[in-house]
Amino acid sequence: MNLLIYKTQAELLKDLADYIVTLANQSIADRGRFNFVLTGGNSPKALYESLATTYKDQIDWNKVYFFFGDERNVLPDHESYNGLMAKRSILDPLGITEDHIFYVNTALAPEKAAIEYTKSIADHFKGTDLVFDLILLGMGDDAHTASLFPGTTILKSKEVEADSVFVEKLSTYRISFTAPLINKARNVAFLVFGESKANAVKHVIEDQEKNTDLYPTQLIVPIDGSVTWFLDKAAAELLES
Ligand SMILES: O=C1O[C@H](COP(=O)(O)O)[C@@H](O)[C@H](O)[C@H]1O
């Protein structure tokens, strides 16, 4: 595990963008494409905007495929739809074509949307290993990542898929990658800002004994891939070392 802690969010975002550029170019050189899973939530917006402006000439975007690690069960024009924020901040500004974007079809019932999403991912990887080059993740104050929330049924999943999950505390369904699907990635990067995340960060990174039901992000342990944490100093303030 690589732990990177930054004094300012600007420094963090610059390093994370450089890291993405390096991985993208390496993946394209090695395998001809970069399969990139975006995270939702509030934290990544500035990152996406800087990739689409400052970094736009540093990656061959025609060779990048975009996915979503989780999606809210709202229609695509809803402000909470993760795909909408990505569309506005990175996908439209870079002119990414629809055939390179894997949105979750939330016009379907959540179970069906998850099945269809799993199938579209499987079709994309047909004939190759189902291994994403980079899965970018955030983490909530409650230690959820993607839509792996504390106490939910999806935490027990052994399936390499996207699944639907009812999140009782939000009274809503989400569609999310399962931990086994995330753990097949070549690289996982966490982007975590702010003191409200400090307690969750401490438990996820430092607990010797895991409690994945309470701190679901502890489930993220890639089989062969790397994990890198990009933290600001507020999010890292309770870490011992
Ligand atoms: O991995 C993820 O983490 C976030 C946490 O979001 P943030 O708003 O605190 O940055 C989560 O809610 C999001 O849907 C997910 O993709």
Q: How many Å lie between the centroid of ligand 1 and the Cα of residue 58?
A: 26
- Separation CA 177–CA 164 (nearest Å): 9
Question: Which has the closest alpha carbon to 162: 176, 148, 183?
Answer: 176
DSSP 7-34: SSHHHHHHHHHHHHHHHHHHHHHHHS-E
Which pLDDT band holds residue 205 (cuts at 50, 70, 90)?
A: very high
- 218 domain-assigned: yes
The alpha carbon of 7 is separated from its chain's Cα centroid by a whole number of angstroms, namely 23
- The CATH number assigned to the domain holding 96 equals 3.40.50.1360
Residue 49 in tokens: 């905007």
Phi, then psi, of 190 in degrees rounded to 5: -100, 135
Number of structural domains the chain divides into: 1
- 76 domain-assigned: yes
Residue 202 in tokens: 């401490």
Which pLDDT band holds residue 30 (cuts at 50, 70, 90)?
A: very high
Q: What is the pLDDT of residue 43?
A: 86
- 216 domain-assigned: yes
Q: What is the pLDDT of residue 41?
A: 82
- 238 domain-assigned: no
- 125 domain-assigned: yes
| Nearest atom, ligand 1, residue 39 CA | 16
Q: Which of 82, 144, 217 to mutate to test the pocket of ligand 1 (most atoms within 8 A of CB)?
A: 144
Could you report the predicted ipTM of this complex, rounded to two decimals?
Answer: 0.92
Q: Which domain holds residue 194?
A: 2-232
Which pLDDT band holds residue 176 (cuts at 50, 70, 90)?
A: very high
- 239 domain-assigned: no
- 40 domain-assigned: yes
Q: Which residue, by CA, sits nearest to atom 6 of ligand 1?
A: 41
